Structure 1
Amino acid sequence: MRTAIEDLDVALSGRTVVSGVRIMAEEGEIAGLVGPNGSGKSTVLRTVYRHLRPHAGRVLVGGADIRALTAVQSARQVAALPQERGTDFELSVREVVAMGRTPYKRAFAGEDPTDGDAVAAALDQVGMAGAGRRRFSALSGGERQRVLLARALAQDPKVLVLDEPTNHLDVRHQVELLALLRRHRRTTLLAIHDLNAAASVCDRLHVLHGGKVVASGTPREVLTAGLLAEVFGVRAAVVDHPLTGDPLIAFDHRAPVFPVSGR
């Protein structure tokens, strides 16, 4: 579902941390938010899943202001995998994933076949099909990450909001997760530090720096040596990936970094 962030301003503790942000994700598009630490990526995403209320601007999902929806309506539209993730669930893996079905249930209603199918499919998609009876609290960090992604998928949202979803995942599971996102083509807003991963999975990138969007476009348009020097303060060359043809960033780890320009 088409998602638009329009002229977003967010202030925390009286300090403006995001200003004038405009981001668009078309139906089925994966829109990546990249930028240095503290650039405002997570803050923007938190407004989409209503963890933060913006000082100005709005978030539109399918043309509807997300703040004008009820909590249940919003949860049927948007599912999130935030950075702040619970690690103390004394529940089974299956019970955690089944929490994603809450927006579709009446109070105290039991699970129906549709719920069971959604939970099973979500666990299978993240490679945790055989783990339903395990305790969530006993899982590794990467396993927890995949289970929480399954919970978001079981929610069957129109829009996925993922904040650093590859954290804690080994290389294989990072590759599988990114392939899953491309295969399902669900409208997705994705904050990610790995620029090569962003280039491989995202249809469009939005570069944040100092709480503002400083560049938007396809990965090939955005990820240039000049932008990497100016925004990230690193020396790099951008070449074609030998297997996929995507932009591939080769960082110069021997050269001193550049000072990052202020904005």
Structure 2
Amino acid sequence: MNIAVEDLTVTLAGRDVLCGVDLLAAEGEIAGLVGPNGSGKSTLLRTVYRHLRPSAGRVLLAGRDVRSMTPVEAARRIAALPQERGSDFEFTVREIVAMGRAPYQRAFAGEDATDREVVAAALDQVGLAGHEGRAFAALSGGERQRVLLARAFAQQPEVLVLDEPTNHLDVRHQVELLALLRARRRTTLISLHDLNAAASLCDRLHVLHDGRLIASGPPREVLTPELLAEVFGVRATVLEHPLTGDPLIAFDHRAAVTRQDQARV
């Protein structure tokens, strides 16, 4: 099942945060959103999972406008991991993950065997089997992140929408999370600050800058030194990763790109 964004404009507080954006996450594809802070990545994702209403344009799930779906239908199809995540939930790890089963349960009905199996599998996938009884509020930031990802997995969606899911994760858990997303091969729209992670994980990249889409395509075609200078204001070269063959961006941490440099790009 694919996600298509068509001519999307989102206006907040009288300002167009996104303007005329078109992009695609094809069925089974991991499509990444990259761009500087304030470029509109989170706004776009919030519009995809219906937290925000577009001023113009639309978001289509397999050709159907997501705004036409009921909340339950949308929740069965799209699971989101937003950046704004509460840290003081008075729930256990298992209770948080079990919330992902709500779209499948009748009102006032309890869990059934399927719910229990799905929750257990989701916890195991993120490496938290055996931690069901821990208080969510007592977890580290990385542990909370994995619990909320397990909740998204327990929702069994057709599409995952993930906003900076590697935030607060140490290197090992970042690598494990990216490997897990690759293995699941579910249609995924994901924003990432780490460009090397995006180059390794994503089949397709969409580059946002000042609310507009300025480039789309395979990471190897999109992540050029010229684009990195123009959009991110950094000097960099793009190499081949010696272990994986993926594009590997080597940044010049000693100097930023000046306006004069950008004018020459």
Shorter-chain TM-score category? over 0.9
Matched residue SS, 1:129: coil
Question: Which consecutive aligned stretches of 4+ in structure 1 deviate over 2 angstroms post-superposition?
Answer: 255-262
Q: 1:125 is aligned with what amino acid? A: Q
1:130 is displaced (CA, Å) by 1.2
Residue equivalent to 2:252: 252
In structure 1, how many angstroms separate the alpha carbons of the residues matched to 2:196 and 2:176? 15
Matched residue SS, 2:254: coil
Q: CA-to-partner distance for each residue in 1:67-94, whole Å, 9 max, x for gaps?
A: 0000000000100000000111111100
Residue equivalent to 1:164: 164
Instruction: State how 1:170-185 maps to structure 2 within 5 Å.
Output: 170-185=170-185
**Amino-acid identity (%):** 74
**TM-score between the two structures when normalised by the length of structure 1:** 0.98
Instruction: State how 1:1-263 maps to structure 2 within 5 Å.
Output: 1-259=1-259
Quickly say closer, same or farther: Cα 1:235–1:261, change in 2 above 3 A: closer
Q: CA-to-partner distance for each residue in 1:118-158, whole Å, 9 max, x for gaps?
A: 10010000000111011101100000000000000000000
Q: 2:4 is aligned with what amino acid? A: A
Q: 1:25 is aligned with what amino acid? A: A
Aligned length: 262
Q: 2:226 is aligned with what amino acid? A: G
Question: Pairwise CA RMSD of aligned residues?
Answer: 1.1
Q: CA-to-partner distance for each residue in 1:133-188, whole Å, 9 max, x for gaps?
A: 11101100000000000000000000000000000000000000000000000000
Q: Does structure 1 conserve the Cα–Cα contact (< 8 Å) formed by 2:233 and 2:256?
A: no
1:256 is displaced (CA, Å) by 3.1
In structure 2, how many angstroms separate the alpha carbons of the residues matched to 1:154 and 1:255? 45
In structure 2, how many angstroms separate the alpha carbons of the residues matched to 1:256 and 1:159? 37
Q: Does structure 2 conserve the Cα–Cα contact (< 8 Å) formed by 1:235 and 1:258?
A: no
Q: 1:23 is aligned with what amino acid? A: L
In structure 1, how many angstroms separate the alpha carbons of the residues matched to 2:198 and 2:262? 23
In structure 1, how many angstroms separate the alpha carbons of the residues matched to 2:76 and 2:14? 32
In structure 1, how many angstroms separate the alpha carbons of the residues matched to 2:59 and 2:178? 25
Structure 2: unaligned runs, 5 residues or longer? none
Q: Does structure 2 conserve the Cα–Cα contact (< 8 Å) formed by 1:229 and 1:258?
A: no
